[in-house]
Amino acid sequence: MPPHAIGFDRARYIELQSQQIAARRQTIGGKLYLEMGGKLFDDMHASRVLPGFTPDNKIAMLQQLVDEIEIVVVINAKNLQAKKFRSDLGIPYEDEALRLIDVFRERGFLVENVVLTQLDENNPVARAFRTRLERLGLKVSRHRTIKGYPADTRTVVSKAGFGRNDNIETSRDLVIVTAPGAGSGKLATCLSQIYHDHQRGIQSGYAKFETFPIWDLPINHPVNLAYEAATADLDDVSLIDPFHLAAYGVQAVSYNRDAEVFPLLKVLLDEISGSCPYQSPTDMGVNMVGSCISDDVVCREAATQEIIRRYYKALVAERRDELDSTISDRIALLMSKVGVSGTDRAVVPPALEVARRTKGPASAAQLADGTIVTGKTTPLLGCSAAMLLNALKVLAGIDDEVQLLAPESIKPIQTLKTEHLGSRNPRLHTDEVLIALSVSADSSPYASRALAELKNLRGCEVHTTTILGSVDEGIFRNLGVNVTSEPVFQVKSLYRKR
């Protein structure tokens, strides 16, 4: 199967999801708080496991309702204190929140409110971020940690529970609640708002704009297992929705946190309106993803590869931070469910073979047409930089014997690094190679042709036999390359630059 085969119908998804949201609004009436499951913008995970799903699919659909929507951004204060990062972009949650607000506003969406959840007085990082947000002209609401949430529904649905939270002053009837990452408290924010609306005599309801897990796919479908791999650090587990099975006798896939909080949702809505419109967590979701898979084989393979990528990512994170193997072990179990191992990633065996043969760090890339290109470590170039140049030559149809960068053009850069900038490694990294290539493009037609092919690296796969430095990691991320590494440092040392 071609590496870039399409398995998801983007246009159909926009159409069906729009129809379902309109129908849910009509059923609920009044104000609707629509929790956004997963990322509203730049959903890289969905685009990897559902080829054809573009990172902006969700926001493109919501753009049709831009004048009716208000967006609220939720951040867990504990995640700020823990300095959590959005790994696919390499930025902390607080910066991601601001980036999202900018993106939403550029597209015409109303964004005025940020909510800090699980806030307590012993969190100076969250307090400082709150001050920063307010200075930027944003409204900041504080939501407290509620003792007994979600099991103690009597306390939660009271002045001592949701009643302690700030009410979020919104001006539109369709409120999208989103966050920089998982575990931010989006559902609790929606429920807290419904409580406050009820106290003020405002009719409101809740629904969830869901992506994963996909309720109408089997629980062990690779796409659902890839979701578990992506959230392995959160202890998220897919399960058969017990409430849906009891109510309808039909199996549907949900996950543990939705199932745990559903009794609270039901109690809250019962107290507000005398009845709950939902019989199960599956009912409260608006999720047409499963109906838009156009090629199940393609999506299965893409999701399987994502599980393997997540496995390598976990191994590297554990090695970097000297952690135990809890996360990688969980993902290894998921790999066993789909019957694969790490070497079932096409770029892994060739990278390992080059490393074995050269006795040095190596890398391999798989291009869009399936071609495998490798790179080895040389006195002039690191393996990732060498592989990058080799890949560009293949894409540009340039003979392998052609030197895109002459040794004499590399030496001044090496001198600058080692004699003036304090580096002990004279080899060029990917960023330095690309700068040198750009400088050469004015005088070399080969360099110019190679540089023009950079855009065609997007979506390609790369594996390296040693852990990447932050610079190379950032370059591959910016190029849109899916990169994994063996959990091995190139140099043994106690102190490492991040």
| 368 shares a domain with 282 | no
| 384 shares a domain with 236 | no
Check whether 498 has a pLDDT greater than 60. no
| pLDDT, tens only, 196-229 | 998 999 989 999 998 899 999 999 999 999 999 9
**Within a domain: residue 304?**
no
Q: What is the bridge-based pairing of β-strands 110-119 and 91-92?
A: unpaired
Give the residue with greater pLDDT, 345 vs 441. 345
According to the model, what pLDDT value does residue 139 have? Answer: 96
| 388 shares a domain with 275 | no
Angle ∠(252,257,262) on CA atoms, nearest 5: 70
Q: 206 phi and psi, to 5 degrees?
A: -135, 145
- The helix (H) or strand (E) run that includes residue 174 is strand 174-178
Angle ∠(462,222,11) on CA atoms, nearest 5: 85
Closest to 222 in 3D by CA, of 210, 214, 231, 211: 214
Rounded distance between C-alpha atoms, residue 62 and residue 45, angstroms? 19
**Within a domain: residue 337?**
no
What is the identity of the amino acid at 103? V
Q: Residue 470 has which token pair? A: 């932050």
What is the identity of the amino acid at 10? R
* Pair 299, 51: CB distance under 8 Å: yes
Position 352 confidence tier, pLDDT thresholds 50, 70, 90: very high
**Within a domain: residue 36?**
yes
Across residues 469-488, what is the average pLDDT?
93
Show which of 259, 276, 294 is a domain's final residue: 294
Rounded distance between C-alpha atoms, residue 72 and residue 35, angstroms? 10
Segments forming the whole domain that contains residue 227? 10-294
Rounded distance between C-alpha atoms, residue 10 and residue 12, angstroms? 6
Mean pLDDT of all residues belonging to the chain: 90
Q: How many domains in the chain? A: 2
> What's the chain's Rg over C-alpha atoms?
25
Rounded distance between C-alpha atoms, residue 324 and residue 322, angstroms? 7
| 161 shares a domain with 17 | yes
CATH code at 430? 3.40.140.40
| 379 shares a domain with 489 | yes
Across residues 47-72, what is the average pLDDT?
93
Asked whether the whole model's pTM tops 0.95, one would answer no
According to the model, what pLDDT value does residue 190 have? Answer: 92
| pLDDT, tens only, 111-126 | 999 999 998 878 888 8
**Within a domain: residue 330?**
no
Contacts of 329 (CB under 8 A, 6+ apart): none
Show which of 250, 270, 294 is a domain's final residue: 294
Show which of 294, 327, 357 is a domain's final residue: 294
CATH code at 188? 3.10.630.10
| 139 shares a domain with 207 | yes
Largest CA distance in the chain: 79
- CA–CA distances in Å: residue 50 to residues 3, 12, 303: 13, 13, 7
| 276 shares a domain with 211 | yes
How far apart are the two ends of the chain, measured CA to CA in Å?
Answer: 37
